[in-house]
Copies of this chain bind each other. A is one copy, B any other.
Amino acid sequence: MTSQDDLFHPVIELPEPTRRARYDRLVGLDETKLRLRKEAALLADPRRLQSWAAEHHGGHIAALTLFEDRAPLFVFAGDVGSGKSALAESFGCELADWLDLPVYLYRLKLATRGSGLVGEMTSLIGDAFTHMHTVGKRASGPGGARSVQILVVDEADALTQSREAQQMHHEDRAGVDAFLAGIDSLAGARLPVVVVLCTNRVGAIDPAVMRRAAATFTFARPDDEQRHSVLTQALDGLSIRPETVRKVVELTGPTEDRPGYTFSDITQRLVPAAVFRAFPDRPVTDEDLVALAEELKPTPVFAEER
């Protein structure tokens, strides 16, 4: 049995200020945020569903039994920079508040993808799920969960890519199978464990994995409104005029021959570049922003090849 340190990055207890800040910065994803909260809430305390059925449908409903077969698996699909990884690692902050329970964030380590021997990937993934099962069980109690566990698998396509691709190695295929077995072991176990796969190549995820997903959320680059909101937030304090912000929103949108800016194109490149233009001799001006927005190219779209 591999130790927890070999399987996961250091576990993080949520809420935690940095991640909460990121969560707050992810504007325009309210529907996804709501659904995640509800899903996790039911895993944390399945009795909530029964109470709801009793209250609103007058007792037992058949749908309740369906919940016993569902896998606590969510797929976050979308282009690089669309915020999917940021949300996966931060939605537990709000969840913790809502449930008034600690939420533990587990991030699958690279080593879990095998560190040498063929066949290792299979057993490491197996160990990772066994671990989640164990901690999930320990966190369960007669009065509902005592904590919620979130397992995030970033760049998940490397792990679970489709067996359709003929050139996949036997070993990779075994990794997909191990993942399927791990998810199946959680399905119906009703433990407070949520698994989130992030991928920018959703078409490469094995259909058998996709079929098990309780829900798939698709993330896109921020639209005008989202970019406006992010920009306003990021430029706070620089005394940039509203019409300049609107101009930049426009300049950073998609055009015929290139995509729009990603969240990180705005927060990690455009605004810092404006700062560097001015630093250390003068303040950032409206012209700096417009000039840079005209000059900087957005991160290219990750082309899915099949």
Question: Which residues of chain B come closer than 8 Å to A280, judged between CB atoms?
Answer: 38, 48, 51-52
Q: Are B208 and A170 in contact (CB under 8 A)?
A: no
Number of identical protomers:
6
A211 within 8 A of B: yes
Chain B nearest CB, measured from A48 CB (Å): 7
Cβ < 8 Å to B, chain A residues 260-306: 262, 264, 267-269, 271-276, 278-280, 282-284, 299-300, 302-305
Bound complex: CA of A49 vs CA of B118, how far in Å?
Answer: 48
Contacts of A208 in B (CB 8 A): 80, 155, 200
Contact A272 B111 (CB under 8 A): no
B56 close to A278 (CB less than 8 A): yes
The answer, yes or no, to whether A233 is at the interface (CB within 8 Å) is yes
A61-B237, A283-B57 are contacts. A116–B115 as well, Cβ < 8 Å? no
A245-266 to B contact mask, C-beta < 8 Å, 1/0? 0000000000000000010100
Known A63-B237, A237-B57, A276-B38; contact A158-B163, beta-carbon cutoff 8 A: yes
Tell me the A160-216 residues at the B interface (CB within 8 Å).
163-167, 169-174, 177-178, 180-181, 188, 200, 207-208, 210-211, 214-215
CB of B170 within 8 A of CB of A113, answer yes
Provide the residues of chain B in CB contact with A115, threshold 8 Å. 119, 122-123, 174
- Chain B positions within 8 Å of A68 at CB level: 18
A70 within 8 A of B: yes
Closest to A69 in B: B268
In the bound complex, residues from chain B placing their C-beta under 8 Å from that of A21 are 65
Residues of chain A from 64 to 81 with CB closer than 8 A to chain B in the complex:
65-71, 80-81
Known: A56-B283, A62-B234, A305-B164. A116 touches B114 (CB 8 A): no
